[in-house]
């Protein structure tokens, strides 16, 4: 799918990898982007940076069906179509099986993580797909592209990442059945499992912590550049033969147990 002038929905697009991807797709590929997020201040900053002709910010809770429906309807009203969905919205948080007191971790903590990181991905993906299915197919075959963001933790979850790792593994599990179902409609579904990236949050960490993280990375021995993530999203969009795949974008790093 050509990116120029396409309408791309990015959940969690007001910061971090989502914002970097929005910036890359707008400034270097000529896309129009709808940023879905709960951070109004960051969303308004992004809109001021990109301009109303190329971007729209919509407050949206991905874990709530009605919130997503309202946001996507607003995207259609603003831009007339949705061609690409990139699901970056996610939350972090510790979750062991047992706490320090030996008691089971409250189910609510686990459910909160999956509500956003897994249910939220399905929510946005499915509602975008409903609207993509009405697009005229490009080159006679493609109506839409979905990119769901997993994590290296889906493969090698660290101690304390039970909920996060499980939610991200679930994202990968969506790939094949969703791609098989939506392929008949001309919609591809893929995932990216990013490793350690130099996000604004990571950049604020102590240099010793960053140095320790680099030791877990094989080559190149550095944290990933957010533009490299954005470029990977562009590659998935443009390569029409890539479907139901998870790309590990992690410089061959594998997370240790702790």
pLDDT tens, position by position, 104-114: 999 999 999 99
Q: Are 13 and 21 in contact (CB under 8 A)?
A: yes
What pTM, to 2 d.p., does this model score? 0.96
Percent of the chain past pLDDT 70, that is, above it, reads: 100
- Of 14-28, 96-110, 191-205, which gets the smallest average pLDDT? 191-205
For 202-223, write each residue's pLDDT tens digit. Answer: 877 788 878 888 888 999 999 9
Closest CA to 237 of 190, 205, 198, 201: 190
Residue 201 has pLDDT above 90, yes or no: no
* Residue 164: active-site member: yes
Per-residue confidence (pLDDT) for residue 37, from 0 to 100:
98
- Other C-beta atoms closer than 10 Å to the C-beta of 70 total 13
Return the domain boundaries, the chain: 7-247
In CATH, what number does 7-247 get? 3.40.50.720
pLDDT tens for 156-197 read 999 999 999 999 999 999 999 999 999 999 999 999 999 999
Exactly one of 24, 57, 164, 241 is catalytic; which is it?
164
Contact 11, 124 (CB under 8 A): yes
Q: What percent of the chain has pLDDT over 90?
A: 90
């Amino acid at each position: 799918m050509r990116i120029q002038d396409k309408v791309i929905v990015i959940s969690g697009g007001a910061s971090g990898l989502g914002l970097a991807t929005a910036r890359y797709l707008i400034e270097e590929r000529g896309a129009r982007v709808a940023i879905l997020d709960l951070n109004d201040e960051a969303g308004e900053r992004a809109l001021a940076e990109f301009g109303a002709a190329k971007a729209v910010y919509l407050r949206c809770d991905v874990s709530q069906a009605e919130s997503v429906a309202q946001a996507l309807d607003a995207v259609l009203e603003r831009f007339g179509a949705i061609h690409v969905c990139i699901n970056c919205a996610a939350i972090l948080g510790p979750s062991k099986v047992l706490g320090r007191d030996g008691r089971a971790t409250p189910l609510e903590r686990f459910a909160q993580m999956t509500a956003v990181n897994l249910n939220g991905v399905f929510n946005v993906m499915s509602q975008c797909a409903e609207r993509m299915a009405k697009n005229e197919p490009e080159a006679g075959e493609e109506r839409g592209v979905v990119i769901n963001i997993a994590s290296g933790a889906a493969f090698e979850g660290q101690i304390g990442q039970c909920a996060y790792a499980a939610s991200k593994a679930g994202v990968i599990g969506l790939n094949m059945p969703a791609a098989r179902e939506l392929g008949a409609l001309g919609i591809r579904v893929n995932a990216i499992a990013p490793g350690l990236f130099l996000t604004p949050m990571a950049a604020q960490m102590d240099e010793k912590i960053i140095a320790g993280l680099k030791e877990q990375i094989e080559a190149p021995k550095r944290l990933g550049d957010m533009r490299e993530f954005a470029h990977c999203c562009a590659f998935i969009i443009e390569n029409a033969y890539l479907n139901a795949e998870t790309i590990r974008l992690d410089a061959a790093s594998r997370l240790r147990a702790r």
